[in-house]
Amino acid sequence: MKLFGVLNDWNPVRGFGFIRIINKEKIVTRFFLHICDIKSGTPAIGAGVEFVLDEATPKPGDAPKAREAVIGDVLPKFRPVVPSALDALAGTPAAEPPDASEKGGNGGAL
């Protein structure tokens, strides 16, 4: 059976991370994902992941393992917020770029 979750943790140096699924009862389940179990896509936090659950029983305390993962795009809810958007939400005006006239008469040349 294929499952769908969101990659909410990824360690690029060690090549593993965790997929999170929240069911209707708001129960969170985490699944371990190793880079060798990715069929396609590039790991990115917030990306949607379709995967198959490994049939092996995990050791006590370990998360179940995901296999045959297909990683999609970062879901809109998880896209990073840029500082100017935070300023707009807080009602703070964004910093204005300086005029060329304020750069000392050389037209802004370096």
More confident residue, 24 or 63: 63
Of 102, 78, 83, 103, nearest to 94 by C-alpha is: 83
> Residue 67 corresponds to which tokens in the numbers above?
């296999």
Cα 10 to Cα 21, 33, 45, 76, 94, distances in angstroms: 15, 9, 7, 18, 32
A 10 A CB-CB count for 62 gives 9
pTM of the entire structure?
Answer: 0.67
Show the domains of the chain with their CATH numbers.
2-90 (2.40.50.140)
63-94 per-position pLDDT tens digit: 999 999 999 988 776 555 445 444 555 555 54
